[in-house]
Copies of this chain bind each other. A is one copy, B any other.
Amino acid sequence: MVRPTMEDVALRAGVSRALVSLVMRNSPKVSEARRSAVLKAAEELGYSPHAMARSLASRTSTVLGVMVSDLHNAFFAEVVDGIDEVAREQGFDIIINTGGRSPARERRALESLLSFRPAGLILLSPVVPATAISKAAEQLPIVLVARSSRVSTVDTVNDDGEQGARLAVDHLVSLGHKRIAHLDGGEGTQAGPRRRGYVTAMEAHGLTPQVVPSEYTDAAGARAIRGLIDDGTLPTAILSCNDFNAVGAISALEDAGLRVPQDVSVVGYDNTSLAALRHVSLTTIDQPRAEFGRLAADALLQRVREQRTEPVRHLLNPSLVVRNTTAPPATSRRSSGSPFPSTAEGDSAGSGSRTADSRAKSQERRSSDQ
């Protein structure tokens, strides 16, 4: 249970501790003979450098801290993949901590990450107050992903939520929809731009926006739909604030005997793996997640190594992925809803024909039902 130290290696190789240190950081100013002797000794002892002692002594760190606001959301896993890729290329390690979407727990996670004095921090969709972030930014470089900031010491990587919402609205309008509601993400990060984009796009088309309060969850989506049905204000198309919300909305619609997409079209946001499942086959807005991670890591490393000080604001273009939850609206004559579901396919792998198929079935059943 006790790891060998540099001293042990030095002793065994018959050199000084400093020389071992040079070899470990593969300095060029070491003779081949000594280098191999040291390497051999290290190997025999199973020595590997103590990262903390190293970083303490060098007053630098080769660690990037990553705070994932919600481990349950696969969205972040792909961002982490992108971060990891770049970090590894550049010889940095990452350590992750999670806040479980609770500000208190997230704050703790932040403290914990900070206590390791990493070279920098990447926060994925943090929910802590902005002040906590700018306070941390006084101590080390910070990059925010999926959350914006005006602080000049922090960089941000976001998708253009306004544009994403606009893509969705344009798609629905081109299918012939006029009444399109937005299930709003409320306080959720990025909910603002999406809502703005939706409103702007609706108005650009000369349509009346209908913003329905909701949240980034399955249950909230279902609840919002039930509310609309009860109010008698259900439109022909729904733009959800994210995929989870959309799936909840679809469930509630179908529970109410409505067909998706024949009676109501639904568009999600995020293109999570959930949306791609054939079973769900959700039309949605895709964000380049791994690219988020890569850009975030790049931005951070630029601050760390090149001492950049001007803030970077990446705003990536989202794209529309058409699957099987959107179709032209039913005409006013009830029995003859549009017979052809959308079959355009926006992503290469994944969603097959199953859902379209089952929708066709559900349509038939309904017409025989009433």
A-side residues, CB < 8 A to B, are 1-3, 46, 48-53, 55-56, 70-72, 74, 76-78, 80-81, 84, 88, 93-98, 100, 105, 108, 111-112, 114-117, 135, 138-140, 218, 247, 250-251, 254-255, 273-274, 277-280, 352-354, 357-358, 360-362, 364-366, 368
Q: Is the CB of B254 within 8 A of A354?
A: yes
Selected from B56, B135, B279, the residue in CB contact (under 8 A) with A280 is: B279
Closest 10 CB pairs of A and B: A361-B365, A51-B115, A71-B77, A52-B52, A96-B96, A251-B278, A72-B77, A93-B112, A254-B354, A361-B362
Per DSSP, chain A at the interface is: helix
User: How far apart sit A368 and B365, CA to CA, in the bound complex (Å)?
Assistant: 10
Instruction: Name the residue of chain B whose CB is nearest to the CB of A257.
Output: B357
How distant is A53 from chain B, measured CB to nearest CB, in Å?
Answer: 6
Contacts of A138 in B (CB 8 A): 1
Q: How far is the CA of A251 from the CA of B135 in the complex (A)?
A: 49
Residue of B nearest to A94 (CB): B97
Inter-chain CA distance A3–B80, complex, in Å, is 27
What distance in Å separates the Cβ of A347 from its nearest Cβ neighbour in chain B? 14
Asked if B98 and A97 make an inter-chain contact with CB atoms under 8 angstroms apart, the answer reads no
Q: How far is the CA of A52 from the CA of B255 in the complex (A)?
A: 55
In the complex, residue of chain B having the shortest beta-carbon distance to the beta carbon of A72: B77
A1, A52, A80, A254, most chain B CB atoms within 10 A: A52
Given the known interface contacts A254-B358, A365-B365, the answer about A98 and B80 at a Cβ–Cβ threshold of 8 Å is: yes
Known: A72-B74, A72-B273, A362-B358. A352 touches B139 (CB 8 A): no
Say how far A225's CB is from chain B's closest CB, in angstroms. Answer: 12
Cross-chain contact B218 with A277 (CB below 8 angstroms): yes
Q: Write the chain B residue with the least CB distance to A364.
A: B365
